[in-house]
Structure 1
Amino acid sequence: MPLPIREVLKKRILIGDGAMGTLLYSYGIDRCFEELNVSQAEEVEHVHEAYISAGADVIQTNSYGANRTKLARYGLEHEVGRFNRAAVRLAKQAAGPETYVFGTIGGIGGFQKQSVESNAIYSGFREQADVLLDEGVDGLLLETYYDLDELRQVLQIARGMTDLPIIAHVSMQEPGVLMNGLPLTDALTQLEALGADIVGTNCRLGPFHMIEALRGIPLPKKAFLSAYPNSSLPDYREGKLHYENEPAYFKKYAVDFRNEGVRLLGGCCGTTPVQIQAFKEGITELEPLHSKVVEAQPEVIKVRTPGNVPESPLYQKVLDGRSVFVEFDTPRHLNTRNFFEGIQALEEAGADAITMADNSLASPRISNTAIGKLIKDRFHVPPLVHLTCRDRNLIGLQSHLLGLHVLGLHDLLVVTGDPTKIGDFPGATSVYDVSSMELIKLIKQFNRGISYSGKSLKQPTHFRIAAAFNPNVRNLDRAVQRVKRKAECGADYFISQPVFDKQRIIEISEAARDINVPIYIGIMPLTSARNAEFLHNEVPGIRLPDDVRARIASAGGKEETRRVSLDICRELIDIAMAHFRGIYLITPMDHYSMSVELIKYIKQKEKILATQKNGARVIL
């Protein structure tokens, strides 16, 4: 049994192992790597042996993703115990008498933050840690945590479960700063204060950028410093990822890592026994650094919203009182004459905003950003641009948001987006790198002047965010809870799916009475009985009462159908205005004249209500 690792690190630098998945992937294995602990145990054990032969003093179990949440992707969530037990036993079988075996637990939030409930993360962590500790690991390695809050929580749980050594690694996209904008120095200080014995960073960055990140890091007061860089930036060739692996490069940088105070040096993605051996050779004969003069670092610029930034005129209308927004989607073709005639008519009728969906029902239309800019320049009614999670990956989303800000389009409706399989191109890819809640958080981070990676944007954006609310569900309370979570993420107000049931509007009002942000109730005219049946039976998030469908079905001819449809909408508007300040009119296809009539009705009703209110004051 090796000496306590804390005592050994006081005297010398230790070498960790490298990537498990990289080697397995190079063997042609591309599936759940943790399942291989059972199905291909010899291959996993051979990887451990290769790293030990290369000079690794510390190896980690093949259990990075062996938690309930990640295994569920493969339908293996019931195998947490079996996979983790096998992982420890294989590593211990390979380890010599002087080799430390650390049980690895990876971050669940990951680079692409997922909508996983906190309770599921922490219960899953405890379940996995219990097995690893029961099997007799020498310590725990918590690695690849992009979300510092998640790492802080699991570190506290782990520290409460064991006195064994704990390694805590954050991951960065930008050298020296976390995704929330916090400097690496502050993060490592927090982890040390929470009881981590070894603090450091792994993944994403290669040796060059990881050294840059460590230059401003002082030696921890009680803990030791660690670094597990990637091999390089990956190349994508013939459907596979490839990493450059020059041993001499790693041998040279081993000295630089030592000079920054690193006591535990290993590798992450792309590294193999070749790089680990190079690290070993690089630090041979080197004493660990016991003191360090930190170079003066440039002051971190904390971007704040200037006090003189004007509020969005549209959001000011949301706050001031009653307003009516109108959705009028951009054309699917390039003949825009009728569309802009409709915008003109809606503006003259008194619409407080024009909203445009982001390729609704997954069918391509003229870019709502381009049309939104034209509306902003040519008309006096503000545009509200929809933004889905469906069509853009994280790179595209960030670029798109920066472009919206530059164009002066600061009012957004953030939605998940209909899946591509229901649209014109069912074979197209639905991206969904983030959920709507995560996108709301990202936009609010932009408003603090911080990019997704934590890097400064040099100035803040000024977005105001509307979020979607679907009350057409069986469990309305659950839908309201989702609204509350979106509000906690930063949503400024909500816009509902179309509601066709007067009683449902009252129920929504009662269920949402403690929500402190405005809610706009969606009202949508029907154009025909076929349209009503299609919406009711085929469009997600829309339900029509039997009596509404019957009234439309019994109407004779287009004019009668139009009259009945508008009567239904007026009845719904009467109820909605008694309970909510905002109305959201959804224009059916290009029938903007129906929205014009309803705007006029709402404006007239507002005058009547205002007169009644003033009259009441006179009487009092």
Structure 2
Amino acid sequence: MSRKGLRERLKNGETLVVAEGYIFEFERRGYLKSGSFVPEVVLEHPELVKSLHEEYVRSGSDVVLAFTYYAHREKLKLVNREADLKAMNMKALQIAREVADETGTLMAGNICNTTVYKRDDEDAINKARNMFKEQIEWAVEGRADFIVAETFGEFGEAMLALECIKEYGNGLPSVVTMSLPMTLNMHDGIPVDEACRRLEEAGADVVGLNCGRGPETMVEPLKIIRKACKGPIAALPVPYRTNENQVTFFSLTVPGTEKMAFPLDLSSCYCTREEIRKFAEESKSIGVQYVGICCGNAPHFLREVAAVYEKPAPALKYSPEIEKHFIFGDEKKNDPYYTQTYKKKITQK
């Protein structure tokens, strides 16, 4: 199927809505273990992975992201499945390629933070490089349209990932996004705007932020990045109510308590659809061309982003029409039965 590639779309000024967040969604559904967060569901229930890809496309995603996040050698050691490393990656790529071909969307390979990278440690750096190399080569073999390198807390690891894509990626375009910590500097001290600018100058097709921060605490860094970079920038926050006191979702507490919400109780900190829509509107005004939702994403959230970015998502057909609700609808406001029965009960509550 002939379709415009990532670079062509971006050059034409087009925007891409992108669904991430597969790890948390499958954990929520009971097909993936919190803690290790290894995507074993790819091999155990591939039909569910395909179905979620389809749901996200239906809700507006222009990209099918192969579910190879944390399907790397170091993570598979935790669950004694190193022997399944290539099989897990190739199956994820196959599923994503199939859905992309069926829906006319782009398919992206995916690499991420290795959990072994250590700056100034050549052995650790080489270990991370080799992990990137094998996943990138599999993505090429799996016919990815481009490669996403994501969720890096250190600029050095993000740059290493980009270098590996350029070396082993057979010329594929790259999207490199970092997870900004509590300050405007990456963990290795590089200011986020400088980090993005340097990645762009090194050849990344898209640079920006994903994960870590929710809508409220990602907007201001995006403005700084937009000023520093000439090309397309990316924004994929988590859909949780981070704030000036709890900047990332790692620092969120369950409302009314001091209990840490990450990772098992983050649902207590969910954004509303309106907050997601507001973020999409702000991102659009800033000039974000590559936008989506990361950990915690769900189709109804992505649909809000798609609506703002004017994507012809099939799921928009079923957007809410609360005016037709039997209690809250406009036609019920002057109904005596509604006024005396339901409205009274709601007020009492």
Q: Which of residues 97, 104, 107 is equivalent to 1:101?
A: 107
Answer yes or no: is the 8 Å Cα contact 2:64–2:99 preserved in 1. no
Residues 23-43 of structure 1: CA distance to partner in whole angstroms, max 9, x if unpaired? Answer: 111112332542211111111
Distance 1:35 1:12 in 2: 35
Larger-Rg structure: 1
1:110: how far off? 7.7
Distance 2:90 2:144 in 1: 10
SS in 1 for 2:277: helix
Superposition TM-score, scaled by structure 1 size: 0.43
1:237: how far off? 9.6
Residues 431-486 of structure 1: CA distance to partner in whole angstroms, max 9, x if unpaired? Answer: xxxxxxxxxxxxxxxxxxxxxxxxxxxxxxxxxxxxxxxxxxxxxxxxxxxxxxxx
Residue in 2 that maps onto 1:269: 295
SS in 2 for 1:12: coil
**Structure-to-structure mapping, 1:149-228, within 5 angstroms:** 149-161=156-168, 162-174=170-182, 176-218=184-226, 223-228=231-236
Residue in 2 that maps onto 1:87: 92
1:112: how far off? 10
Answer yes or no: is the 8 Å Cα contact 1:18–1:276 preserved in 2. no
Residues 72-129 of structure 1: CA distance to partner in whole angstroms, max 9, x if unpaired? Answer: 111112222101100111112222443111111111138999x972221111111111
Distance 1:33 1:107 in 2: 13
SS in 1 for 2:198: helix
Answer yes or no: is the 8 Å Cα contact 1:68–1:78 preserved in 2. no
Relative to 1, partners in 2 of residues 1:153 and 1:50: Cα closer, same or farther, differing over 3 Å?
A: same
Residue in 2 that maps onto 1:25: 27
Answer yes or no: is the 8 Å Cα contact 1:59–1:101 preserved in 2. yes
SS in 2 for 1:190: helix
Residues 293-340 of structure 1: CA distance to partner in whole angstroms, max 9, x if unpaired? Answer: xxxxxxxxxxxxxxxxxxxxxxxxxxxxxxxxxxxxxxxxxxxxxxxx
SS in 2 for 1:140: strand
Distance 1:251 1:147 in 2: 29
1:174: how far off? 2.2
RMSD of aligned C-alpha atoms?
2.4
**Structure-to-structure mapping, 1:337-486, within 5 angstroms:** none
Structure 2 spans left out of the alignment, 5+ residues: 241-248, 255-260, 312-349
Answer yes or no: is the 8 Å Cα contact 1:226–1:265 preserved in 2. yes
Answer yes or no: is the 8 Å Cα contact 2:38–2:76 preserved in 1. no
1:11 aligns with 2:37: no
1:181: how far off? 2.6
Answer yes or no: is the 8 Å Cα contact 1:110–1:147 preserved in 2. no
Answer yes or no: is the 8 Å Cα contact 1:198–1:224 preserved in 2. yes
Residue in 2 that maps onto 1:71: 76
1:260: how far off? 1.6
Structure 1 stretches of at least 4 aligned residues deviating more than 3 Å after TM superposition:
109-113, 218-223, 233-241
2:56 corresponds to which letter in structure 1? Y
Relative to 1, partners in 2 of residues 1:214 and 1:240: Cα closer, same or farther, differing over 3 Å?
A: closer
Residue in 2 that maps onto 1:279: 305
Relative to 1, partners in 2 of residues 1:222 and 1:98: Cα closer, same or farther, differing over 3 Å?
A: farther
1:138: how far off? 0.6
Structure 1 spans left out of the alignment, 5+ residues: 286-620
1:138 corresponds to which letter in structure 2? D
1:14 corresponds to which letter in structure 2? L
Relative to 1, partners in 2 of residues 1:18 and 1:67: Cα closer, same or farther, differing over 3 Å?
A: closer
Residues 195-251 of structure 1: CA distance to partner in whole angstroms, max 9, x if unpaired? Answer: 110111111100111101112223566631111101114643995442414112111
Distance 2:264 2:205 in 1: 40
Relative to 1, partners in 2 of residues 1:219 and 1:238: Cα closer, same or farther, differing over 3 Å?
A: closer
1:149: how far off? 0.9
Answer yes or no: is the 8 Å Cα contact 2:39–2:71 preserved in 1. yes
Residues 475-518 of structure 1: CA distance to partner in whole angstroms, max 9, x if unpaired? Answer: xxxxxxxxxxxxxxxxxxxxxxxxxxxxxxxxxxxxxxxxxxxx
Distance 1:148 1:171 in 2: 10
Relative to 1, partners in 2 of residues 1:140 and 1:220: Cα closer, same or farther, differing over 3 Å?
A: farther
Answer yes or no: is the 8 Å Cα contact 1:196–1:223 preserved in 2. no
Answer yes or no: is the 8 Å Cα contact 2:5–2:106 preserved in 1. no
Relative to 1, partners in 2 of residues 1:154 and 1:170: Cα closer, same or farther, differing over 3 Å?
A: same
Answer yes or no: is the 8 Å Cα contact 2:32–2:39 preserved in 1. no
**Higher RCO (CA-CA < 8 Å; seq separation 6+):** 2
May I ask how many residue pairs the two structures share in their alignment? 284
Answer yes or no: is the 8 Å Cα contact 1:219–1:261 preserved in 2. no
Residue in 2 that maps onto 1:2: 3
SS in 1 for 2:107: strand
Residues 167-203 of structure 1: CA distance to partner in whole angstroms, max 9, x if unpaired? Answer: 0011111253212232111001111121110111111
Superposition TM-score, scaled by structure 2 size: 0.76
Residue in 2 that maps onto 1:247: 273
Answer yes or no: is the 8 Å Cα contact 1:60–1:101 preserved in 2. yes
Relative to 1, partners in 2 of residues 1:53 and 1:97: Cα closer, same or farther, differing over 3 Å?
A: closer
1:17: how far off? 0.5
Q: Which of residues 268, 282, 296 is equivalent to 1:256?
A: 282
Relative to 1, partners in 2 of residues 1:110 and 1:268: Cα closer, same or farther, differing over 3 Å?
A: farther
Task: Pick which of 2-11 and 264-273 moved more.
Answer: 2-11
2:129 corresponds to which letter in structure 1? Y
Residue in 2 that maps onto 1:569: none
- Aligned identity (percent) is 25
